[in-house]
Amino acid sequence: MKKNYDFGKAKRGAVVKTPPGKTRITIRIDDDVLEWFRKRVHESGGGSYQAMMNQALRDYVEREAEPLEDTLRRVLEEVLPGSARKKAAKKKRKATRKKART
């Protein structure tokens, strides 16, 4: 190890550049929430807990914009037994096609 180092040509800032469309921030997350995401990533075989948190936030934002009728249909499809679920899915496809025509 040297006694002195020359930092005259050094650059300040992050070592890894932030990709376009991303913003580097610092936030405080409750320990239990952070642990939950880390555990899920570990159980799924690896990956990025930050990417998983980003996706969870994105899903929330998209669902907030989702019309109430679509939200109810999605929830009912998850809850109803098989045959009723198929009928609901068929009804949804039909409504989607009708919406596309207009």
H/E stretch holding 79 reads: helix 68-79
Pick from 32, 52, 55: which is nearest to 43 by CA? 52
pLDDT per residue over 47-92, tens digit each?
999 999 999 999 888 888 888 888 888 888 888 766 666 777 777 8
- If phi > 0 it is left, if psi is from -120 to 50 it is alpha, else beta; for residue 35 that is alpha
d(CA 43, CA 17): 29
Identify whether the C-beta of residue 37 lies closer than 8 Å to the C-beta of residue 49: yes
Considering the entire predicted model, what is its pTM? 0.53
